[in-house]
């Protein structure tokens, strides 16, 4: 697969149900490459030294991207169990793609994966739209 080309997508950082989040300002077509998750590449022992950093994105068994800089706007995308985006890795780089049509004002989300959610999301409870609606039904 060739390296993705980002679409001309308008988004904004706003308060969401789970801290800050990234929201579409205009409709986004399914399949559009929205944003790249960027940061310093950590290798081997450097990864262990950053344990506890919530902005690490694992790109291989030995490499991670430290996306904690505020200039990495993709760091504001929250996790959801029924997301509208997906993160894909291309030669160690991470790109976020819309996996369904997204309406203006909708929050952008992707599934962080089991390892991350078990460690950082589940202990405090997932606040994605799907889990929040399940809680409302139970109440
Ligand atoms: C990459 S950051 C996402 C942006 C973050 N909300 C912020 O304000 O900077 C990941 C962190 O956001 C929070 N988060 C993301 N998705 C969440 C969710 N579905 N439920 C609860 N917390 C979530 C968790 O604290 C997680 O470790
Ligand atoms: Zn959830």
pLDDT value for 32: 98
For ligand 1, residues with CB inside 6 Å are 18-21, 54-55, 75-76, 78-80, 120-121, 126-128
What residue spans define the domains of the chain?
11-138
pLDDT tens-digit readout, 105-119: 999 999 999 999 999
pLDDT value for 50: 72
5 burial level (CB within 10 Å; 0-12, 13-18, 19+):
exposed
Return the C-alpha torsion angle 8, 81, 101, 71, nearest 10.
-10
Residue 1 in tokens = 């697969």
Q: Which of 14, 15, 18, 76 to mutate to test the pocket of ligand 1 (most atoms within 8 A of CB)?
A: 18
For the entire predicted model, the pTM comes to 0.95
Q: Which of 121, 126, 128 to mutate to test the pocket of ligand 1 (most atoms within 8 A of CB)?
A: 121
- According to CATH, the topology of domain 11-138 is Beta-clip-like (2.170.270)
Each of the 139 residues of the chain gets a pLDDT tens digit; together they read 789 999 999 999 999 999 999 999 999 999 999 999 999 999 988 877 777 899 999 999 999 999 999 999 999 999 999 999 999 999 999 999 999 999 999 999 999 999 999 999 999 999 999 999 987 776 6
């Amino acid at each position: 697969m060739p390296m993705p080309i980002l679409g001309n997508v308008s988004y904004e950082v706003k308060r969401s149900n789970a801290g800050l989040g990234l929201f579409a300002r205009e409709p986004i077509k399914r399949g559009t490459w929205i944003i790249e998750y960027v940061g310093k590449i950590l290798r081997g022992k450097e990864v262990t030294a950053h344990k506890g950093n919530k902005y690490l994105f694992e790109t291989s068994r030995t490499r991670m991207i430290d996306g904690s800089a505020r200039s990495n706007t993709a760091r504001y995308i929250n996790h959801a169990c029924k997301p509208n985006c997906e993160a894909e890795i291309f030669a160690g780089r991470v790109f976020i793609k819309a996996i369904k049509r997204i309406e203006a004002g909708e929050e952008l989300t992707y599934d962080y994966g089991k390892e991350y959610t078990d460690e950082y999301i589940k202990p405090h409870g997932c606040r994605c739209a799907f889990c929040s609606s399940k809680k409302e039904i139970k109440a």
